Structures are given as structure tokens and as C-alpha cells.
Structure 1
């Protein structure tokens, strides 16, 4: 679990939710959840998931009210789990359990999965706007201030790539770009495959954002190939576009450079038995690979110009 919450304390909190009060239930911990303790709750009337959070996520700039509002919006869009209850005083967001299979990175190589993921993203992006905006450039800057002010460990040479990061920001800037409601953290485990449909879960980092950030982040965080990224972008837009493909690839680098600092903060502050440093370095290496890659300048040019 991601923070200290005993079983007796958990059950006391669950008893204070009207839909669960006084009901017999089976509670099972779910895997994952680096900033939550997630439990599956089975009753005779329904099956639920309680996302239980503490105050340890403050350094990571997670706003639980935003998460609740955006989870409701994702439900309304038809791609998010039903929201049953929200008790910020208890640190609990209660949602309906989705009958499906959470994906793994390897699942994206299966026929049709990338196309289904693109449909899920388009559905979310076409739904009600979220309560807040998400900008990785701003978040990276805020995370860096936290890392430096707390003296957390930073990868060697991290700041040497600040110029390249800024050049991506300049290339992506465009007055006509519109933001859409994005999850912004679509790790494989946040895709739930239910027959022909994919649901999207976990809206901790959600916010209105450029859709190409969503696509680029999916590419990098799930270890997809460049061919798979092109398949994802093509499925999302309905055509192959060099401009959007470049933007998505650059946004993938933006995500990795920014999430590196998330790992640094967790490495310096979390009590979880998890190797956050290795997690951070994996993302840092991804970013450096692109910063130093032979395509970097061309990608900047392609992002600036239309097809």
C-alpha cells in the first residue's frame, strides 16, 4: 500500500459510506496504486473499488477534488467507471468495479488493442471538460523546485537538457491548439479491456491538455515502438499526419522528462518498498534518447509546420 492505513481503520471508514454501511462485505487489496491504497469491495448488492488516499501526495500536486470532478466527467463521457461516493474527509473516492481485464504492456501488440485504445481516448477527449488544466511544462518546473528545495537526488546531467526541453515547448506552442479532457497517465494498468471496449481509469493527473500529450505519453510509458506510435496516432486521427506524429513523439519526451522528477520526489519522500529511482531513471533514459537522437531537429520542424 502507498500509505499507512490499517485494516481496522479502513473498515471504519468504509462503514461511514452509506452504500456500504452495515453491509457484509469482502475487501481485497488491488495491485498498483503508488499514491493510493486501492481495495475491491464485494457486497450482495454490488462490487466497488475504494481509492483511499492520504496526505503524502501533496508534493506531487495531486488535487483530490479535481480527481473526483474529472472522474465524474469521464463517467459522463462513457469511458470512466461510475462514481458512487466521494468523501474527502475520509480520503476515499468510491467507484464501481469494472468487469474487465487490465492491460499489460505486451497487450498493445495484440491485434486491435491499439485501435480500441485510440477509440477510448477519443471518447474521453470528446466528453465534458475537466475542472482543471494539465501542462507538463508547468508541472516539470514545479516538480524541479520541489526537488531542489528538498535536496532530493537528481539524475546526473538532468539540467543539461533544459535547452532542448524549452525548444520543444516553443515548437509545440500554437495559438490555434485546443485542449481536451485528458487522463495524462495512461499506463497499461489504467486501461481495462471489457470485450470490444476499453475503459480508462485513475484520474489523479487528469486535466485539459493537448491530445498529443496523451498519445505520446501512452507511447513512452508503455514501451511502444515507433511503428506502434504511428498506428496509435493514425487510429486516433483517422489518417497518417506527419505533423501530429511529430507532436506526439515530442510530447512523449516531454512526459518522460517531467515524470522523471515525479520519481525523484517519490524516491526522496515515499516510504513505499518500491525502487522509485529505477523508475525515474527509466524515464530519464527515454528522454535523453530522444534529446540526443538523430530525429530531434526534424521533429521540431515537423511540429511547427502543418502537413
Structure 2
């Protein structure tokens, strides 16, 4: 089965196919992209090609699911349904779960769990990402809204494109953030030196991105933040906080070079609040508490520095 075609964007013209797939966020690494191309899972203008072929602006990319994929048994992730209506679900995505499949993607998928909840979602939205109207990174947890009908899909995609969905995250950042509230305006673009996004001054190339933050609590070596994003760029919060010198604790991709006593098996970043006007016209707000692994880190910090302050 093949997905609907995507098109090579102008900036990618002249690059190797595997390089383009990686830089465009269509594969998790160049090696995975190359493997997918070699396996015939990625077609260029409907034809099998080699990974080193140079792509041109506007060429069609088609992703083909191999027959073996349907025979492979994946673990279905445990997903908590926060709210259910005839038109949509609001769910909590656990850390470690990829939202939807793609070239080289392995492990549990949120879409697998969604199809267990409602098989009809398979016909909503794009074939390889049924019901999906926005995403969270693999190792970020928290709230997501999922469309159950074509009407809801259109409604939510329009809300997101018009920046009419309020998304608030809880993040623990390295170091002491000085200002009580702040705004980060740095453009987001693919790094030319590392396999991640880069936060750049607004005078440079990239996509406009705006992040607001408010300090919730300070520790001697970290700051708990409430973060609201006005745009939805890839790795926006992670790249923006790294760009101002306060990367997210536990983030291996946007990590400090110097050693730090704060370690965690995942980024301390959780989608804690989601607000929108639903398809019936009702203004909705949903909240999600920190998962146990993050709440435990926070409790340990509080206990440590409360004890220190009393001695």
C-alpha cells in the first residue's frame, strides 16, 4: 500500500535522496532513510531509485509500506483517554511512543492504539497517520487531540494552521532562568552541523517561531517552567530553550557539553494543557499531571533543596 504523494520542497533540490528524507524529518536518520530507499519503501516520481540520487524541486515522493509490515506484531502502547466525543478523542501520549509510522520508524505507535479505540479512524486524514492533526516528539509525553471524523479533522487542522489552539507545556530547564516571564523569538531551521534543529536570529533563514515562558519554581541548578508555544515548529521548545542557554533536562539531543548532576532517561517536557473550541462550538480546556517519572524528579529536587535550606 502506498501513501499519498509528498513533494520535494525547493530548499531540498540538488541533495541526495537519503539526505533530503532526513533533513525534511521524513526519516529518523540518514541510515534509516537509506535502508528504506534500498528496500523500495520510498519511490521518486513513482520509480525505485538509489539513495544517492539527487532530488529536484517538486518531485513526487511516495512511501510504500512493505507487505511484511502488516505481519509484524507491534506492542500496542497504553494510552489514557482524557475525553471522548463522537468527533474526537483527547489522549495522553506516553513518552517513548512515536505518534505515527514512517520510513525507518520502529517501536510502538500511537496510531496503533487509536485504531484499537476506534477502527473508523483509519479513514480519517492521511493513510499513514489516521486521525492525527498534530504531533509530539517520541520522548515527550502529554495531551493530544485526535480526530474521529472527517469533519473534525478539517476543523482541527484549520485551528492548528490558524494558531487557535493553546498548548502549554511543563519543562524543567538547566540553570537558573532569571526573568519571571519571557518571550523567545528565534527562527527554527535544520542544523547544518548536527542532526537536530537550530534556533537562529530572526535576521537569518528559518521558520518563524515564538515561545512564551513563565517561571514556576527555581532550584540552584534548574528552573521549572510553564511554556506556551504560539507556533508549532519541529523541536521548538527544545531548540528555543537550548538557544537561550537553558536546555531541557534529560534531553540527549539538545544537551549541555559540561557535565551536570541532573540526569533523566527522557526530556523533562510534558504537554500539560490543551485548549481549543471543539467542532460543536464549545470552548474546551484539558489538563494532564506530570507522569510519575517526572513528578519523582521534581519531588527529589524539592526534598533535597528544602533539606539543604534548613541546615
TM-score over 0.5 for the alignment? no
Give the number of the structure whose residues are more often helix, by fraction: 1
- From the CA coordinates, give the structure whose radius of gyration is larger: 2
Give the number of the structure whose residues are more often strand, by fraction: 2
Greater RCO, 1 or 2 (C-alpha within 8 Å, sep 6+): 1
TM-score bracket for this pair, using the shorter chain length? under 0.3
- With normalisation by structure 1, the TM-score equals 0.26
- With normalisation by structure 2, the TM-score equals 0.26
